[in-house]
Amino acid sequence: MRALVGSFVLFALVLTIGSAAATAQITTQMGFKMSQSFVVENTTLPAGSYLITPVSGTDQSVVQIRNTTTDAGVMVAVELVQPDAGQSGDHLVFNRYKKVLALSQIFPGGGNQGYQLVPGHPEKLAAKTEKPTKQTVAGGSK
């Protein structure tokens, strides 16, 4: 009987943790505007207005970043990360090098988990010779 109760408690704990993790995942889309071109992994996107949307069916591991005017865009693999305690609200973090502006992190909403993008080839090349500065751009949930 004790083993049955222990199994039930363990099952209830797993369900509670699983549902808490599911509610912490980001399910909203986020818009932002860029006044210059930027790199997402290995793709250079032009200045313009963009919409970031989690791709359904990927457990939040892929997001789509697309231009709202031309529908040009890219899908990228991401990892969930915790937000920086000093930042609040919707924002994006870019790594700025001399010739490369690379999207690094996306945080839709204050206190929510965010997305860490994998550096692409242009950013890796730039990182070999220089240290990036962080540039934050405000975003807006849609």
φ, ψ dihedrals at 129, nearest 5°: -115, -10
The domain spans of the chain are: 27-141
Give the Cα separation of 27 and 17 in Å (integer): 18
Q: How far is CA 80 from the centre of its chain?
A: 7
Give the pLDDT confidence score for residue 94 in this predicted structure: 97
Amino acid symbol at 70: T
Give the Cα separation of 88 and 112 in Å (integer): 9
pLDDT mean for each 10 residues of the chain (142 residues): 43 38 54 95 95 85 93 91 77 95 88 87 96 91 60
Give the pLDDT confidence score for residue 4 in this predicted structure: 44
